[in-house]
Amino acid sequence: MEIAIMIEGQDGLTWPRWQRLASAVEQLGFVGLYRSDHFTNAGPPDKESLELWLSLAWLASHTQRIEFGPLVTPVSFRHPAFTARIGAQLDDLSGGRLTLGVGAGWQHREHTMFGFDLLPQADRMDRFEEGLEVISRLLQIDAPASFDGQYYQLHEAVLLPRPQRPGGPPLLIGGNGPLRTLPLVARFADEWNAVLIPAARFAELNARLDSLLAEQGRPASAVRRSMMTGVVFGRDQAELRTVLNGRDADELREQGLVVGTPGEVQEQLGGLASVGVQRVMLQWLALDDLDRLEALAATVL
């Protein structure tokens, strides 16, 4: 199973921190570096937050190996035509290392603060579906594309230059919803990214996705299976207790987090691999703790 790092970009990300993290993730051997796309936190206090696409453009031109992308960029405050255009050109700049993660949007606070309409849940998912149609048509169809939706319209639209990768960067959809999200994955996505669930629940949703793909006439292998989950790591039991800061390790594991010392982390990652997780994005919240990140790489990779 491939192991990548994911960070929360709204949780104090500055240029020095981003530059150090990108360099460390590449040098330590992780397969990729992913980040969230938010203006600010779901609750105060507000912290620094680098703009998503600017930070990824820097990463594309200052790293050589690691894959990267948003987990995920929402259509609620980014028009899908811009997302498709920027994503395709950034993928070209990086030599084909971008995974284009997209979502419906969810965080009420940032939408209220900056005047974006989040919409009720059902309408939000309808808009997301239209956004996926727009992105897919612009990236995958070389001829001018048209689309007449409630939220988005295309009129003989074509993006030039065309993506160097046929169809553009792979499209990732994140989420655990069996009724709306997984059917959209089966229709549009190249990768499904489950979010913070135990291995048993992943196995259930994974089987449902296989069935949905079959209904769409797509093989199960058409969609990579990944998971974004939290990691609480200590080099030994003493450090683990410090990092847990009073939280119960077993309760966190039941929620789907990876928690423990090197051997325990390896065992939990093996459990995820056994139910079909092909890539895990470990959420690293300690943006300045590169020593422990290095220890995670040295003992788990």
Per the CB < 8 A criterion, the answer to whether 184 and 72 are in contact is: no
Q: What is the pLDDT, as a whole number, of residue 6?
A: 98
**Residue 172 banded pLDDT, cuts 50, 70, 90:** very high
Burial of 271 (0-12, 13-18, 19+ CB in 10 A): middle
Residues 6+ apart with CB under 8 A from 44: none
**Residue 264 banded pLDDT, cuts 50, 70, 90:** very high
Q: What is the pLDDT, as a whole number, of residue 259?
A: 98
Per the CB < 8 A criterion, the answer to whether 60 and 90 are in contact is: yes
CA distance 24 to 31: 12
Of 141, 56, 144, the closest CA to residue 101 belongs to 56
Burial of 268 (0-12, 13-18, 19+ CB in 10 A): buried
% of the chain surpassing 90 pLDDT:
99
Q: What is the mean pLDDT of residues 157-174?
A: 97
CATH number, residue 204: 3.20.20.30
User: Checking DSSP bridges between strand 153-157 and strand 145-148, what pairing results, if any?
Assistant: antiparallel
Per-residue CA distances from 96 to 66, 99, 140 (Å): 10, 9, 15
Burial of 164 (0-12, 13-18, 19+ CB in 10 A): middle
Per the CB < 8 A criterion, the answer to whether 40 and 49 are in contact is: yes
Per the CB < 8 A criterion, the answer to whether 117 and 90 are in contact is: no
Of 128, 142, 146, 269, the closest CA to residue 189 belongs to 128
Q: What is the pLDDT, as a whole number, of residue 36?
A: 98
Structure tokens at 186: 């089966």
The pLDDT mean for the chain works out to 97
Q: What is the pLDDT, as a whole number, of residue 176?
A: 97
Q: What is the mean pLDDT of residues 147-167?
A: 97
Per the CB < 8 A criterion, the answer to whether 55 and 9 are in contact is: yes
Residues 6+ apart with CB under 8 A from 40: 10, 46, 47, 49, 109, 110, 113
Q: What is the pLDDT, as a whole number, of residue 297?
A: 97
Q: What is the pLDDT, as a whole number, of residue 38?
A: 97
Q: How many domains does the chain have?
A: 1
Give residue-wise pLDDT tens across range 207-257: 999 999 999 999 999 999 999 999 999 999 999 999 999 999 999 999 999
User: Checking DSSP bridges between strand 73-74 and strand 153-157, what pairing results, if any?
Assistant: unpaired
**Residue 282 banded pLDDT, cuts 50, 70, 90:** very high
Q: Which domain holds residue 162?
A: 2-300
Give residue-wise pLDDT tens across range 62-99: 999 999 999 999 999 999 999 999 999 999 999 999 99
Structure tokens at 229: 């989950």
